[in-house]
Structure 1
Amino acid sequence: MIETSVTNEATVTATVTATEVLLPGKVDPSGLRLVQRELSAPAAGQALVRVESTAVSFAESAMRRGRYFGQPAFPFVPGYDLVGVVEAVGPGVDRALLGRRVAALTKTGGWSSAVVLTAADLVEVPDGIGADEAETLIVNGLTAYQMLHRSAKVQAGQTVLVTGAAGGVGSVLVQLARDTGARVIGTAHPRHHEALRALGVEPVDYRDPDLAARVRELAPDGVDAVFDHLGGASVTLSYRLLNRTGTLVSYSIAAALDDTKPVILDFLPLLAKLAFWNYLPTGRHASFYDIWAGSGKPDSAKRQAFRARMRTDLAQVFALLRDGRLTAKIAARFPLAEVAEAMELAESSGRTTVGKIILVP
């Protein structure tokens, strides 16, 4: 329930009761709980956003296992990103935001019917783009765009390998790479191969014991870039598939999702391996992509630069969507109250869907 009153200064919230999904600890999806919480009115520099669309990502699957590096202590509300409409603003915030559809990268807190956020972190969604479409491209679109253009700097005519090409990030990444003019090889379950071919991707079965040989058949001299979400043994294989000047971008450790040791013990060997490869005089380059890198402290110069970069890149992604050069891949849509079912689908080994799983408050 949201009730507001208007003054000459700003819109002040009288009563805001939000429905949220609470992650109480390391639980199965069925252990997620719906709760209600009264929100404070937006303070100076803040805005109240009525959430229209949020989603399930790999991050939430890792967080419920306590496997996401830097996650908050339990209990907390998950939700890495969201799209919604600005219902109220605090002092110092441009009232032109009122009624506007906005996107936000939150890391946590998005699984709610309403949120209070720093207004400077909001990115306006262009007219003509729906909430669910925009939602598929916030964390996934930013990750894919920045890895492709800022990390690997892929050019037309190059060949890239995308692991998990049918996933949330992968399905966006292959489209962006093809739009750039690159040739794309993608690993995925055979059930997704037809859909990937329709996107112009050359699919390879990720379960093939001779995966490296299959990729080398397609790219005998190696590939110009690999985008690896698995970590572990996969990242070593990915590095070996590069050509003489290729770039490896690692961006997750999905293969270690069910490990029981502290997550830092999975990250440190990966980071050490990437650093060692960069030390070698091979001409190749390896890096780990972190969407929050360089975000800095609140209101710092680094945070302002981070916001500007995010706004610029997300605007590019939204423009590609608006122009029909990028398609929002929505795998399924669930009410927020059915978040357990949504997570079970996202984590199912037999999942037959491609793209992002949307939650609608």
Structure 2
Amino acid sequence: MTAAAEAALIATEMVLPGKVAPSGLRPVQRTLPAPAAGEALVRVESTAVSFAESAMRRGRYYGQPAFPFVPGYDLVGIVKAVGPGVDRALLGRRVAALTKTGGWSTAVLLTAADLVEVPDGISADEAETLVVNGLTAYQMLHRTAKVQAGQTILVTGVSGGVGTILTQLAQHAGARVIGTAHPRHHEALRALGVEPIDYRDPDLTARIRKLAPDGVDAVFDHLGGESVTLSYGMLNRTGTLVSYSIAAALDGTRHVLLDFMPLLAKLAFWNYLPTRRHASFYDVWSGSGKPDSAKREAFRARMRTDLTHVFDLLRDGRLTAKIAARFPLSEVAAAMELSESSGRTNLGKIILVP
């Protein structure tokens, strides 16, 4: 093991001790063991703030671990050491990983099979904008909704990390994009080719109907709650609704299941109606299965294929990384406050640099 790898074994992690304000996160140092069989030690170059961490600090993310834990849904970094059974060609390579938690650290131990190599020519920060967001956008667009050239889609929160990538992928596929966002981002969104609408417009439904009188082919809704009812009503006769978050419930006080389960029930009910419309909830972890199971291997293969394709689009200039801001990991509190301020209307992804 190299001296650099040995130094990386001492990691600084940002620990979420409980339901606290962003300022309540605390740095903790711990020594990581050498990689075990099948593991790789990754020095983190870039991670990010997302809706998931904002929900977790409130105790409102379904399936989050018990406090205390280290947040961080995804990361990009350099492989510094590998355990027995892992191809040593990974050493020194830049890789990306979905972690759900644990990414807010200077170094992490990960299962090597879960790593996706980042193509040469893409920076760590650029790649980080695409890990969970790019994978989510690509799979919702092509695996769930199966959007085709000439179709029209509606994206709620189109200025966010998922929305900006979804927009570019949709246009690359030849689709038209209508999106809701804060007016401060409308000019930039028009430059991306979006037809923006103020998400606070009291005549939102009428505004969308004016742009798409017969309804849209697909809606991608991150709000949940009453928003999905509006979104379903915006579909044309054969349209698809893809719900992928319950951001509207972020500041709620009741148990998160009391918001999540009614949403799933509503989507299921719509699918029983005698129509050609379809509604579903997208979860990036769907089908992941247990570690080392056949389902897990299929999940890894699908993730690697889709994320590599999105990385290639970025490398070839057909996608542009949208970075709202960069913060040192030590300033994660300020990054979270920005993410959660002003109606959460940042353009792109907020990056953390360990």
Answer yes or no: same fold by TM over 0.5: yes
248, 256, 264: which one aligns with 1:255? 248
Q: How far does residue 349 in structure 1 lie from its aligned partner after superposition?
A: 1.4
Q: Report if aligned partners of 1:51, 1:113 keep a CA contact under 8 Å in 2.
A: yes
Q: Report if aligned partners of 2:160, 2:345 keep a CA contact under 8 Å in 1.
A: no
Q: Report if aligned partners of 1:12, 1:90 keep a CA contact under 8 Å in 2.
A: no
The residue that corresponds to 2:90 in the other structure is 97
Q: Report if aligned partners of 1:331, 1:354 keep a CA contact under 8 Å in 2.
A: yes
The residue that corresponds to 2:130 in the other structure is 137
Match of 1:279, as an amino acid?
Y
Identity across the alignment (%): 84
- Whole-angstrom distance in 2 between the partners of 1:299 and 1:214: 49
Runs of 4+ in structure 1 deviating by more than 6 angstroms, as ranges, are none
Name the TM-score, length of structure 1 as normaliser: 0.96
- 1:25-78 Cα distance to aligned partner (Å, 9 max, x none): 000000010110111110000000000000001100000000000000000000
Instruction: Name the SS for the 1:237 alignment partner.
Output: helix
Q: How far does residue 251 in structure 1 lie from its aligned partner after superposition?
A: 0.2
Match of 1:129, as an amino acid?
I
- For the aligned residue pairs, the C-alpha RMSD in angstroms reads 1.3
- 1:74-133 Cα distance to aligned partner (Å, 9 max, x none): 000000000000000000000000000000000000000000000000000000000000
- Whole-angstrom distance in 1 between the partners of 2:343 and 2:248: 16
The residue that corresponds to 1:240 in the other structure is 233
Match of 1:34, as an amino acid?
P
Q: How far does residue 220 in structure 1 lie from its aligned partner after superposition?
A: 0.2
The residue that corresponds to 2:209 in the other structure is 216
- Whole-angstrom distance in 2 between the partners of 1:243 and 1:111: 42
Q: Report if aligned partners of 1:13, 1:42 keep a CA contact under 8 Å in 2.
A: no
Instruction: Name the SS for the 2:301 alignment partner.
Output: helix
* CA shift in 2, pair 1:15/1:275, >3 Å: closer
The unaligned stretches of length 5 or more in structure 1 are none
Q: Report if aligned partners of 1:249, 1:286 keep a CA contact under 8 Å in 2.
A: yes
1:52 aligns with 2:45: yes
Q: How far does residue 352 in structure 1 lie from its aligned partner after superposition?
A: 6.3
1:331 aligns with 2:349: no
* CA shift in 2, pair 1:274/1:15, >3 Å: closer
Name the TM-score, length of structure 2 as normaliser: 0.98
The unaligned stretches of length 5 or more in structure 2 are none
Number of positions where the alignment pairs a residue of Structure 1 with one of Structure 2? 354
- Whole-angstrom distance in 2 between the partners of 1:347 and 1:175: 24
- Whole-angstrom distance in 1 between the partners of 2:199 and 2:104: 32
- Whole-angstrom distance in 2 between the partners of 1:350 and 1:142: 24
96, 104, 110: which one aligns with 1:111? 104
Q: Report if aligned partners of 2:77, 2:96 keep a CA contact under 8 Å in 1.
A: yes
1:225 aligns with 2:225: no
- Whole-angstrom distance in 2 between the partners of 1:12 and 1:143: 32
The residue that corresponds to 2:339 in the other structure is 346
- Whole-angstrom distance in 2 between the partners of 1:283 and 1:209: 29
Q: How far does residue 323 in structure 1 lie from its aligned partner after superposition?
A: 1.0
* CA shift in 2, pair 1:220/1:52, >3 Å: same
